[in-house]
Each structure stands twice: as structure tokens, then as C-alpha cells.
Chain A
């Protein structure tokens, strides 16, 4: 019967069965990709679920409005650590963001100069240095010279960790802006700084904000550099030149204790930290997409 088919029909038949195999292969591959995606998401869901499960029991309004209590004293919260983390991360932002954004513009505008290469090389190296080294550095620069631990030294340590992240993302985002935009702006007679400020930055804004958020999320969870800089403080403090509590450090203090009560609080504190970082992330995404829509609307 095979020979009875015309060559055209035979070719059609081959094509159809070929198509079917390809469809099957396609489905299998898609399923595998989906499985891989699922596997990638499992740790996140697992961690979140576990932290919620362990931490939610110790949460209450007091947990957000009270100061830590010692073992055996019921109640107590982490107000000092929430405020402390905000202050220390704020200091880190204040130091890091101006520096890394301006540096990123420089590297973008003059990538092949000596300074540009140097900045890129050193940020690459810096981003690979363990965070505790930054803590020791800040300890040597600030704590030893000033003679006391302080919120400022903690913020400084975090700023060094944050800078390479923000700098490199900003640079990458600027590179993604179509060159024609920049050329157009310059052709219309706008100065370089005006082009950067009014054309490049708005176009890259959502990516830049993402970079900043990544940086904040990274440093907000750092406990190691806090040990010898921000130091920790069971009392409420907003003084920049005094030791201050931070969320990751509070988790550390609670977690290594032998007491069940404190260990539960460690989980609850971890939950608060994750929620704050995620909340910040969501806000930033919202701001970024709003910015983008505004830009498109014009």
C-alpha cells in the first residue's frame, strides 16, 4: 500500500507524524521546565512556610511595641530592633546610594577610561568579599578610632556591602536604555547632565529601584557585620553614636540562647524581618511600575 501513495501524500504523511513527535517532545520539555521551576520555588515556599509556622505563635501587638525582656519575664517585643534596623539600613542607603549612582553614571559614560575600569574591577572584587570582613573593616575604621560601638559604624559596614550591588545594577540598567534616546537628547542640544538626569535616569528608573531594593534586602538581613559594629542594645535607642539593636542581630541573640521562649522569639523576629523586606520589595515594585506607566503615558 505504501507504494500506492503518491509522493505528495507520502510527504504529507511524514510531515504530520513528524509534527506529532515534535508536539510530544515539546510537551515533555515544557513539563520538565515546569518541574524545574517548581523545584526552584520549593525552597522559598518551604522557608516561608516554616518561618511562618514557627514564628506566628509568638507574634502579638506587644511584639511590635515593646522592648525585649529577659528570660522568665513574659511579653516583650522587638521595637528597638525594628527601629534600629531602619536606622542602620537608612545610614547605609544615605552613604551608598549617592556614591553608587554617580559612580554608575561615570562608568556608563566612560567605560574604557582607567577610572571606569578600576571602578568596575573593584566593585566586582568587593561584591565577593564576605560580609563579616566589612564588619571587621568598619570596626577598625570606626569603633577602634572612636572608642565605642555605634549605629554609624554598622551603617558604614552595610554601605560597603550595598554599594557594588547598586552600582552594577544601575550600570546594567543604563546600558539597556536605547542609545537613540541619548543621541536624540544630545542632538536637541541638552547638556550631558541634563540628558542623564531627564532622559537616562527616568528610562532606567525601574531597574535602578530594583537594584536599590536588592541592595537593601541583602543588607537588612546581615547579622555578621553587626556583631562588632552596631553591637546590639536591649534598650530603645536612636542615637547614631551609641550601640543599636538590629533585627538580624536580635535573631542571632535569641536563637543561640538555651531558652525556648527566646528561641520562639527568634522565629517571630525572623518572620518580621522577612515580612518587612518583602513589603519593601512590593512597594518598590509598585513605585517602579507606576513610574514606568507615567513615562509611557507621556
Chain B
């Protein structure tokens, strides 16, 4: 029925209709031959009026896109926000898509830098030849809990968890809150005879990686039965998505306990427990973040060429045992010299002036010995084989 000329006319009509329907206020006239994408681009700002004087025009400045770990996202977004004032010629855009996603995207080179809480394994390193991990800050994890005492009032004291108790709880071996092991460690708290409800992450995450790394170090049984990964086969418990999922499940269930990032527990005022460290001490990391710095220093000399090391179960007397670095990922040899240079400049700023942001947001800056190694590595970055 339709002739070809009819179809062409229809196509033109459809373009015109698009202009009328999609941007009723804009009404770009005539010329449906023009690429509609262009029409829309000019039409879009008209939809939102009163934008003059809007901050930070992006045009003309370099865009650096990065993606990865969720854990440092609040800090990175603060850093990149502040850095836009320090160096207005570059805009760092960081999206928290998870450590696994960050590794995948920098490997596929769809982003200019990646980020991860988990240490890249050999297979991942092989796939992204020439990639380097740069520690930025470290963070601690605590065990948020929710428990009503026998008098019906919530217990909010700092809960002390003996060396292997955390592993035994997550293995399902300690099942009651008034288990003698827990009660003896907490003589000041009257623990009720309730079941312990274990809560863990259901999604793959760097937080889980660090936590299971810790459990594997303190418990051979955990290492053998469950192991260490961004997601594992949990012997017991409920799963929640993200820190908010875990803390949500914890706060809804009397008798629940789950691991969350320290910043999360503190900002949401969750009562938490801390594990005993290797030296037998309890370091309240919420009050003394230096405990994490001490753990970094315990292993500081052994960072090696990879600049990545597990710092859980640190031996120092003042070290906090569940902690980990978070890393930015980038290639040692850059293809775009400007981007490479801007990356190094930013990183140096972050390790010096950026440390204040870090402590404000409950992250722990690198101790000096580690910082020097990172700076040394940054200076070795190249562009197309030449020094930056």
C-alpha cells in the first residue's frame, strides 16, 4: 500500500512530531533534516530555565573518569570536590560501582582510573598488564550489634570479642549471647540467654574480602571451610545488601550481629563490638583510629613492589585487627600524558593536604613509611615510555 515516497514523508513527519512531543516548550522550528540529537542538545537547557550563574562550567576542562570501590566513595567524592578548586582544569568523576566493577572497567580501559578494596589476584593482574595498585587510605570494620538486655533495655556498651570468638560466631559455633566465652570477656555487661543472629553481606564486596581475610587469619577452621573472597559461602546467618542492608537487618533483629565499616557504625550511632588483637589487647578503633595506622606500620616495611598487603590480625599491641587498605588502580605507563600527569598531581595532593578530609570522614591516612613508598612509585610513572 505504501509507496517509498510515503515512507520518507512519514519519517519526516515523525521527526517533526518528536520535536513537538518531546520538547513541547522548546519548539525548535523547521528543518527536520537536521540530526535530531543536535536539536535536543540545544533544546535541553531551555527546559530548565534560570541556569545562568550555575557553578563550574565543565567545558574546556579535562575529565578524568574513575570507578570502583564503594567503601572510599564518600572520601573520594570529597577529595574530588575539593580538588576541583585546587586545579580547576581537571574534573575527577568517581562512581562507586564496587571493587569488582572497578577492576573490570580499568582492565577494559573504559575508565581513566579504577579503585578497589580487594587486592588484585594473579589472574586479574595478568589481564591488566602494567597495572599498579596505589593505597590511598585505610579503614576499619567493626561488629555492629543489636541486643536487648534481660531488663528489656538495649545494650550499647563496647562489646569485647575474644580472639577467636568472631570466627566462632560466624562459623555458628557460638550461638548464644550468654556463651561463657563472651560473658567472661564482658564482665560489666549482663548478656541475655538469646540466640545470636549472624548478619553478613549478600553482595560481593571489599568489606567482605577484608572481613573474611581476618577470619581466615585467626581461625584455621574458617580458612579451610569457607576461605577468603569478596563473596563466600556463609555457614550461617542472614544476608543484607551493602552496609545499609547489614545494619538494617541488625537493627531490626534483637540479638543480631554483623560486620560494617567503622564510618558507617559511627555515623549511624550503632553499638558495636571489637575483636581482641593478636597481642591480646582490645583497641577501641572508634576512639583511637591510630590503631589502624599502627596496623599499617606493622606491615609497612613489607609492601613490596605491588604496594599491596593484607593488614588484618596485625601483631602490634596497639593495632586494630580488622582493617584494610583501599587502592586506586592505574597503569604505570600512561597513554595520555596529560591525564597521567593530572593523576599524579592529584595523588600527591591527596596524600598531603587530603589527609584532613580523610580523618574528618573516619578514614585513616597512611603512616609516613607507607606514604613514602607510594610517592616513590608515583614518581616512576611514565607516559609512552618517557618519564611524566
- C-alpha gap A149/B59 in the complex (Å): 17
Chain B residues whose C-beta falls within 8 Å of the C-beta of A213 in the assembled complex? 21
B11 lies within 8 A of chain A by Cβ: yes
The reply on B152 being an interface residue by CB < 8 A is no
Interface string of A161-200 (1 = CB under 8 A from B): 0000000000000000000000000000001111011000
Check B157 for interface membership: any CB of A closer than 8 A. no
Q: Per a CB cutoff under 8 Å, which of A64, A82, A209, A235 touches B56?
A: A235
Complex Cα–Cα for A221 and B15 (A): 24
Q: A49 on the interface (CB 8 Å rule)?
A: no
Give complex CA distance A77, B22 in Å: 25
A57 within 8 A of partner (CB): no
**Complex Cα distance A65/B49, Å?**
10
Given the interface contacts A234-B77, A258-B267, does A98 sit within 8 Å of B36 by beta carbon?
Answer: yes
Residues on the A chain within 8 Å of B73, using CB:
257
A261 to B57, CA, bound (A): 25
Interface string of A124-156 (1 = CB under 8 A from B): 000000000000000000011001110010000
Choose the segment among B78-86, B133-141, B303-311 that binds chain A (4+ C-beta atoms closer than 8 Å).
B78-86
30 residue pairs bridging A and B, Cβ less than 8 Å apart: A65-B51, A70-B74, A71-B361, A72-B78, A79-B54, A90-B22, A94-B39, A94-B40, A98-B18, A109-B1, A109-B2, A143-B110, A147-B110, A148-B111, A192-B3, A193-B3, A193-B7, A194-B6, A212-B22, A233-B93, A234-B94, A236-B54, A236-B55, A238-B41, A240-B41, A258-B261, A258-B263, A260-B267, A284-B24, A287-B24
User: Do B55 and A144 touch (CB < 8 A)?
Assistant: no
CB distance from A194 to the nearest CB of B (A): 8
- Say yes or no: is A101 at the interface (Cβ < 8 Å to chain B): yes
Is the beta-carbon distance between B65 and A93 smaller than 8 angstroms? Answer: no
Within 8 Å of chain A (Cβ to Cβ): is B242? yes
Distance A105 CA – B11 CA, assembled complex (angstroms)? 10
Contact of A243 among B21, B57, B93, B268 (CB under 8 A): B93
Q: A148-B110, A235-B58 are in contact. Are A192 and B37 (CB under 8 A)?
A: no
**A98 contacts B65, CB within 8 Å?**
no
Question: CB-CB < 8 A to B242: which residues of A?
Answer: 256
Q: In the A-B complex, list the 8 residue pairs whose CB atoms are closest, starting with the nearest.
A: A193-B6, A90-B40, A94-B36, A70-B78, A93-B22, A98-B14, A101-B14, A70-B77
Residue of A nearest to B361 (CB): A71
Give Cα A237–Cα B2 distance, bound, in whole angstroms. 43
Within 8 A of A (CB), among B39-81: 39-41, 43-45, 47-48, 50-51, 53-59, 63, 65, 67, 70, 73-74, 77-78, 80-81
Given A91-B40, A231-B95, A234-B94, 14 more A-B residue pairs with CB atoms under 8 Å apart are A70-B74, A82-B48, A83-B51, A87-B40, A148-B65, A149-B65, A212-B21, A236-B56, A238-B44, A239-B58, A243-B93, A257-B73, A258-B261, A258-B268
Q: Give bound CA distance, A67 to B24, whole Å.
A: 26
Chain A residues whose C-beta falls within 8 Å of the C-beta of B18 in the assembled complex: 93-94, 97-98
User: In the complex, are the beta carbons of B95 and A232 less than 8 A apart?
Assistant: yes
B17 within 8 A of A: yes
- Is A216 engaged at the interface, CB distance under 8 Å to the other chain? yes
**Chain B positions near chain A (C-beta within 8 angstroms):** 1-3, 5-7, 9-11, 13-15, 17-18, 20-24, 36-37, 39-41, 43-45, 47-48, 50-51, 53-59, 63, 65, 67, 70, 73-74, 77-78, 80-81, 84, 91, 93-97, 108-111, 242-244, 261, 263-264, 267-268, 360-361
CA distance A243 to B51 in the complex (A): 20
Report chain A residues within 8 Å CB of B51. Answer: 65, 79, 83
- Interface presence of A275 (CB below 8 A): no
Interface residues of A in 241-292 (CB under 8 A from B): 242-243, 253, 256-260, 283-284, 287
A227 at the interface (CB under 8 A from B): yes
Please indicate the chain A residues that have their CB under 8 angstroms from the CB of B243 in the complex.
258
CB contacts under 8 Å to B, within A72-105, are 72-73, 79, 82-83, 86-87, 89-91, 93-94, 97-98, 101-102, 105
B-side contacts of A235, CB under 8 Å? 56, 58, 63, 84, 91, 93
CA A162 to CA B94, docked complex, whole Å = 29
Report how far A260 CA is from B264 CA in the complex, Å.
11
Min CB gap A289→B, angstroms: 14
Look across to chain B and name the residue whose beta carbon is closest to the beta carbon of A79. Answer: B54
Whether A69 is near chain B, meaning CB under 8 Å from some CB there, is yes
Contact pick for B244, options A69, A194, A239, A258, CB 8 Å = A258
Least distance between A259 CB and chain B CB atoms (Å):
6
What separation, in Å, do the CA atoms of A87 and B40 have in the docked complex?
7
Task: Give A208 to B84 CA distance when docked, in angstroms.
Answer: 46
Q: B199: shortest Cβ distance to chain A, in Å?
A: 16
A13 at the interface (CB under 8 A from B): no
Complex Cα–Cα for A193 and B10 (A): 7
In the complex, the answer to whether B267 meets A259 with C-beta atoms within 8 Å is yes
Q: Is the CB of A197 within 8 A of B91?
A: no
Cβ distance A135 to chain B, nearest Cβ, rounded Å? 12
Indicate whether A197 sits within 8 Å of B47 (C-beta atoms), given known contacts A94-B18, A97-B21.
Answer: no
B63 to chain A: closest residue by CB: A242
Determine the distance from Cα of A111 to Cα of B254 in the docked complex, in whole angstroms.
Answer: 62
- Give Cα A198 to B36, complex, Å: 23
Minimum CB distance partner of B264 in chain A: A258
Docked complex Cα distance between A283 and B25 (Å): 10
* A265 smallest CB distance to B (angstroms): 13
A201 at the interface (CB under 8 A from B): yes
